[in-house]
Amino acid sequence: MDNILTQQEAMLRSGQISEVDYTLKLKLEKGSQEYEGETTVRFVYSGGKKGKLKVDFVSKKIEILWLNGKEETNYEKKESALFLSGELLAEGKNELKIKYKNAFDHSGSGFHKFTDPADKAEYMHTDFEPFEAHRLFPSFDQPDLKATYELEITGPSEWTYIHNTVPKSEETKGNYKNIKFNKTKKFSTYLFSLIVGPYAVWEDKAGEIPLRIFCRKSLSKYMDAENLFAITKEAFGFLQGYFGVPYPYGKYDQIFVPEFNMGAMENVGAVTFSESYIFRGPRIYSEYLNRANTVYHEMVHMWFGNLVTMKWWNDLWLNESFADYLSYYSMSNGKIFPDALEHFYVREEWAYREDQLSTTHPIAGKAENTLEAISNFDGISYSKGASVLRQLMYYVGEEKFRDAMRLYFKRHAEKNTVLNDFLSCMSETSGIDIRGWSKEWLETTGVNTLSPVRQNGRLFLHQGPSATNGLLRTHALQASLFREKNGILEEVWKKRILVKGKETLLEENYSGEADLLLLNTEDFAYAKTYLSKESLPILKRSLHTLKDRFSRRVVWGSLWQMVRDAELAPKEFLELALDQGLKETDLSVRNSHILTKALTVIDNYIPEAEKRNWSDKLNSIAKEKSLLAQNPEQEQILWFRILENTSKSPEQLSYLKELLDQKKSIPGITMDQERRWVILSRLSAYGDPESSKRIEEEVTKDNTDLGAKKAFLAQISFPDAKTKKESWERFLKPKEGDSTDFLRYGMRGFQWNHQKNLLVSYTDSYFNSVISVYETRDPHFASAFGHMMFPSFEPDPNLLKRTQEFLDQNKKLPELLKKDLQQQRDDMQRTLKVLEKYKN
Whether 298 is catalytic: yes
Q: HEC profile for 611-680?
A: HHHHHHHHHHHHHHHHCCCCCCHHHHHHHHHHHHHCCCCHHHHHHHHHHHCCCCCCCCCCCCHHHHHHHH
528-529 and 449-455 beta bridge pairing: parallel
Backbone torsions φ then ψ of 541, nearest 5 degrees: -90, -45
Among the listed residues 721, 734, 730, 798, the one whose alpha carbon sits nearest the alpha carbon of residue 767: 798
C-alpha torsion angle, residues 490, 493, 496, 497 (rounded to 10): -100
Contact status, residue 206 vs residue 232, Cβ threshold 8 Å: yes
Among the listed residues 616, 637, 614, 618, the one whose alpha carbon sits nearest the alpha carbon of residue 626: 637
Out of 259, 275, 298, 320, which one is annotated catalytic?
298
With the C-alpha atoms ordered 330, 332, 338, 343, is the resulting torsion angle positive or negative? Answer: positive
Among the listed residues 109, 188, 80, the one whose alpha carbon sits nearest the alpha carbon of residue 141: 188
User: If DSSP codes are grouped into helix, strand and coil, which group holds residue 412?
Assistant: helix
Q: Angle CA(191)–CA(197)–CA(201) in degrees, nearest 5?
A: 85
Q: How many CB atoms lie within 10 A of CB 241?
A: 11
Q: Angle CA(249)–CA(252)–CA(254) in degrees, nearest 5?
A: 140
Q: How many CB atoms lie within 10 A of CB 513?
A: 9
Among the listed residues 722, 743, 715, 748, the one whose alpha carbon sits nearest the alpha carbon of residue 731: 743
Q: How far apart are CA 201 and CA 687, in angstroms?
A: 43
Contact status, residue 233 vs residue 206, Cβ threshold 8 Å: yes
781 contact partners, CB below 8 Å, separation of at least 6:
107, 740, 743, 744, 773
Q: How far apart are CA 401 and CA 321, in angstroms?
A: 14
> How many helical (H) and strand (E) elements, i.e. helices and strands, does the chain have?
28, 29
Q: How many CB atoms lie within 10 A of CB 726?
A: 12
Q: How many residues are given for the chain?
A: 840
For every residue of 357-369, DSSP letters joined together read STT---SS---SB
Q: How far apart are CA 299 and CA 304, in angstroms?
A: 9
Q: How many CB atoms lie within 10 A of CB 66?
A: 14
Contact status, residue 751 vs residue 681, Cβ threshold 8 Å: no
Contact status, residue 784 vs residue 824, Cβ threshold 8 Å: no
Contact status, residue 67 vs residue 96, Cβ threshold 8 Å: yes
Contact status, residue 311 vs residue 556, Cβ threshold 8 Å: no
Instruction: Output the CA–CA distances (angstroms, integers) from residue 325 to 268, 585, 639, 663, in the order listed.
Output: 20, 27, 31, 47
Strand partners, 160: 197
Q: How far apart are CA 200 and CA 118, in angstroms?
A: 15
Q: How many CB atoms lie within 10 A of CB 72?
A: 17
Among the listed residues 334, 193, 213, 192, the one whose alpha carbon sits nearest the alpha carbon of residue 277: 213
Q: How far apart are CA 350 and CA 317, in angstroms?
A: 15
Cis peptide upstream of residue 130 (ω within 30 degrees of 0): yes
Spell 688-714 as b/e; 16+ CB within 10 A means b: beebeebbeebbeebebbbbebbbbbb
Q: How many CB atoms lie within 10 A of CB 314?
A: 21
Contact status, residue 284 vs residue 588, Cβ threshold 8 Å: yes
> Which residues belong to the active site?
298
